Amino acid sequence: MKEVRECCCHHPETKEELYEALNQVLDKYERKESNLIQILHMTQAIFGYLPEDVLKYIAEEMDLPLSKIFGVVTFYSLFSTQPKGRHTIQVCMGTACYVKGADKVLNEILDKLGIKLGETTKDGRFSVQVMRCIGACGLAPAISIDGDILKHVTVNMVDDILKRYE
Amino acid sequence: MSQTIAIKSYEDLLNVKERYINRHKQYEYTILVCSGASCISSNCLNVKNALEAELEKAGMRDKVLLKQTGCVGFCDVGPIVIVEPDGVFYCKLKPEDMEMLVQRHLVGKEIVEELCFLDNKSGERVPYVRDIDFFKEQLKIVFAKCGVIDYSDIDEYIATDGYKAIYKALTEMTPDEVIEEVGKAGLRGRGGGGFPTAFKWRAARQAQGDQKYVICNADEGDPGAFMDRSLLEGDPHAVIEGIMIAGYAVGADKCIVYVRAEYPLAVERLTAAIEKAREYGLLGENIFNTAFNYDIEIRIGAGAFVCGEETALINSVEGKRGEPRQKPPYPAEAGLFGKPTVINNVETFGNIAPIILKGSEWFAKVGTEKSNGTKVFALAGDISNTGIVEVPIGTPLRKVVENIGGGVPNKKAFKAAQIGGPSGGCIPSELFEIPLDYNNLTEIGAMMGSGGLIVLDENTCMVDIAKFFLEFTVDESCGKCTPCRVGTRRLYELLEKITEGKGTMEDIDKLEELCYHIKENSLCGLGQSAPNPVLSTLKFFRDEYVAHVDKKQCPAGICKSLLSYVILEDKCTGCTLCSRVCPVGCISGSVKQPHKINQDVCIKCGACFERCKFSAIVRK
Ligand SMILES: Cc1cc2nc3c(=O)[nH]c(=O)nc-3n(C[C@H](O)[C@H](O)[C@H](O)COP(=O)(O)O)c2cc1C
Ligand code: SF4
Ligand code: SF4
Ligand code: FES
């Protein structure tokens, strides 16, 4: 799982290197259908998202119909076929966070960034998503930026928090 | 540190224990640094580093053992350390406090009062763990070692009787006897359904098949629950041992742990623990020199609530879309890859080793007549002490909320507790004394669920809460069957209409009818239970629904469309504070003159209301 987190930051790698890394993943998981979800996780970690070309490549390598792969990708909310910003803000909208005003924090973030939920800022700096409970309910409302959990976030803190990420 | 040894006998376990004790003899103090996920986000690692540096400075490095533990449960007051053997609890620590802690407690042998827990009710500092209400009222079976031992140290797990239960099962009991024991203990599944565990195990044991599987459900989908995560992070070996015993009982040699992707730390610690167990020969072939072979593999989910449902989970492990399957056949007959499969929740597995080790009679003494043992709850919402608590089943809600949870903060009144997440319901203040057990909760239209317990104060709108859960289920319905896919959306739309003040009394009836239709006609538990939050709030808070419809009012002042903010002329001093905070600039008035809100422009953000020092702004 560590690897997944470390790889989200778009290293300046060549296409060949990225595909080389993908091949290693495919080898490791023996191109087995039952490993598809784990393979997609790793692929997303390598490429930052799941580009269509890459999914086609996986389909060929695994000898699965592309429609089947798309079916799986679209089913799970953590898979994304769109490129993400340099930083991903995940606002928890689980029960505990909602009760503690997470919706206000979310609106503030979106207002400040001038985007809608699920979008990426024009300068490619931030993407904003909502999550259903990140397991930090005792710290509600919680948001996670690039995997770091920030606790007891209030509307007034948003500006400062955003400034910390370039 | 610890040289690798293959553990093959009881003696080997004892040797590890002895080695552990010997290695720790030199220490005068042990300091436990809570390193649960919550404390990590409170920067407990900086505290730990500062503590290390201070110990070095004081020349006490070899007298004091620093131990990183899993969650002690009291997440709200982190970073936390406990100084043993004194049993003193320090909380809300900052790195710069460490000098004082080392110098005064460890060198000077006095308690550092100002770093101790402040009890809001008495206004006093409470230094000892044993005196703090939050801990005093709990009974820990599953979480007994979580927050006490170093989660990464298999030796310490073994030194505290770990892996003795699997040894006992393998060498002294037949698989049937194991199942019998779990059955006599009366253990019911902790993942939500409350199904008797032994029942499932027996079915899987009797099912025909050369290959059988155990699955550990660590999907923890209830948005507002974090018990399973805390156990996996704080005592992974306890879960592993439970999983092994299940494997032996049903005749499986392989287990899959399905963990949600949102829990990277749990995955990391569980992976490390599995590797350690393999290194010690506790996983692998011929475990304890018996014919029992076993291994565990981790699978990571990808963000779909329905994958917590057992048959959907099985599809997901097979690499497919996580859509539920028709039951029967049950997983115990035809589960993963069509093979007999036992699937249990993390907390359920956490109960197994204690039952085998201490016996079903001991276990059955805890809890109520019909439900034995403890239940772990994740306390959150409008409550002073958020965190993880474990209590005997049947403990009254009031005790959990008031004594352990410290009550509702900010002098507000308790309105209801939401239990069981999106499949559960609410418990209103009239039922504050209700004993928390499976049957009682089902009777009032709520459910034990997996253990998410969200406390709601008087400023909560129950219609809004129902809407919140429906929004969740609409999002998470897998879409396979129409009553759930379309029905939940219709429910959501009706709720939206009501909260916007556009609802009619007819809508309330429609809402109710639709709820029953969805419950009866959905394929899986998600759809069947999705209407519960609506039905349960309708049952206990119907007047609130009616107020939204009839009077176009939201009694709690939450639903924006039904609110307006008004400035009382006679109270307004014209201080201009409100006009300065209004984000849309819709408050007008000159200095020292009463101000006025332009209702057409006001976005009802409430900023002015919160800012006014003269209570001149009211919410209607
Ligand atoms: C929509 C839905 C979501 C569920 N989510 C979970 C979950 O996150 N964790 C869990 O242990 N059980 C969950 N369950 C219950 C499982 O289907 C299954 O009953 C449980 O894992 C069995 O374990 P137990 O008998 O030990 O409780 C869910 C059920 C439904 C219908
Ligand atoms: S009830 Fe809902 S979640 Fe369950 S199978 Fe039907 S559509 Fe899917
Ligand atoms: S509620 Fe918000 S928008 Fe309306 S007047 Fe007050 S500050 Fe302005
Ligand atoms: S509800 Fe936000 S972390 Fe659980």
Q: Around Cβ B183, how many Cβ atoms within 10 Å?
A: 16
Nearest ligand 1 atom, CA B346: 11
Give the per-residue pLDDT at A105.
94
CA distance B62 to B82: 18
Which tokens hold the place of B141?
Answer: 């079976």
Give the per-residue pLDDT at B276.
97
Give the per-residue pLDDT at B37.
85
DSSP, residue by residue, B10-69? HHHHHHHHHHHHHHHTT-SEEEEEE-SHHHHHTTHHHHHHHHHHHHHHTT-TTTEEEEEE
CA distance B145 to B156: 10
Q: Do A95 and B380 touch (CB under 8 A)?
A: yes
Q: Are B201 and B182 in contact (CB under 8 A)?
A: yes
Residue A129 alpha carbon to ligand 4 centre in Å: 14
Domains, in order of start, for chain B: 24-136 (3.40.30.10), 154-364 (3.40.50.11540), 374-457 (3.10.20.600), 462-551 (1.20.1440.230), 564-619 (3.30.70.20)
Strand pairing class (A87-92; A126-131): parallel
DSSP state of A121: -
Give the per-residue pLDDT at A2.
36
Give the per-residue pLDDT at A12.
55
Residue A96 alpha carbon to ligand 4 centre in Å: 5
Q: Are B474 and B533 in contact (CB under 8 A)?
A: no
CA distance A141 to A104: 10
Q: Which residues of A touch B44 (CB under 8 A)?
A: none
Question: Residues of chain B whose pLDDT is less than 70?
Answer: 1-4
Q: Is B478 in the pocket of ligand 2 (CB under 6 A)?
A: yes
| B336 interface with A at CB cutoff 8 Å | no
Which tokens hold the place of B507?
Answer: 């809508």
- Atom 1 of ligand 4: nearest residue by CA position: A94
Average of pLDDT values for A123-139?
Answer: 87
Considering only the beta carbons, identify the residue of A40, A41, A99 that sits closest to B382.
A99
Tell me which residues of chain B, numbers 131 to 190, contact chain A at a CB-CB cutoff of 8 Å: none
pLDDT of residue A134 exceeding 90, the answer is: no
pLDDT of residue A57 exceeding 60, the answer is: yes
From the candidates B34, B35, B38, which should be mutated to test the interface with A, based on the most A CB atoms within 10 A? B38
% of chain A beyond a pLDDT of 90: 73
CA distance B29 to A115: 53
3-state secondary structure B164-176: HHHHHHHHHCCHH
Q: Which residues of A touch B76 (CB under 8 A)?
A: 138-139
Considering only the beta carbons, identify the residue of A37, A99, A151 that sits closest to B42.
A151
CA B516 to each of CA A48, B100, B510, B521, B527: distance values in angstroms, whole numbers, following the listed order: 44, 61, 10, 9, 11
| B87 interface with A at CB cutoff 8 Å | no
Q: Is A134 in the pocket of ligand 4 (CB under 6 A)?
A: yes
DSSP state of B104: I
Give the per-residue pLDDT at B553.
93
Q: Is B524 in the pocket of ligand 2 (CB under 6 A)?
A: yes
pLDDT of residue A119 exceeding 60, the answer is: yes
Q: Are B405 and B375 in contact (CB under 8 A)?
A: no
Q: Which residues of B touch A38 (CB under 8 A)?
A: 299-300
Q: Are B495 and B464 in contact (CB under 8 A)?
A: no
Task: Return the SS3 of B422.
Answer: helix
Q: Are B127 and B118 in contact (CB under 8 A)?
A: no
Tell me which residues of chain A, numbers 4 to 43, contact chain B at a CB-CB cutoff of 8 Å: 4-5, 32-38, 40-41
The pLDDT tens digits for B442-461 are: 999 999 989 999 999 999 99
- Atom 8 of ligand 2: nearest residue by CA position: B478
What's the whole-model pTM score?
0.93
Residue B313 alpha carbon to ligand 2 centre in Å: 13
Q: Do B319 and A72 touch (CB under 8 A)?
A: yes
The pLDDT tens digits for B527-585 are: 999 999 999 999 999 999 999 999 999 999 999 899 989 999 999 999 999 999 898 89
Which tokens hold the place of B578?
Answer: 């409100």
Give the per-residue pLDDT at A3.
39
Give the per-residue pLDDT at A9.
46
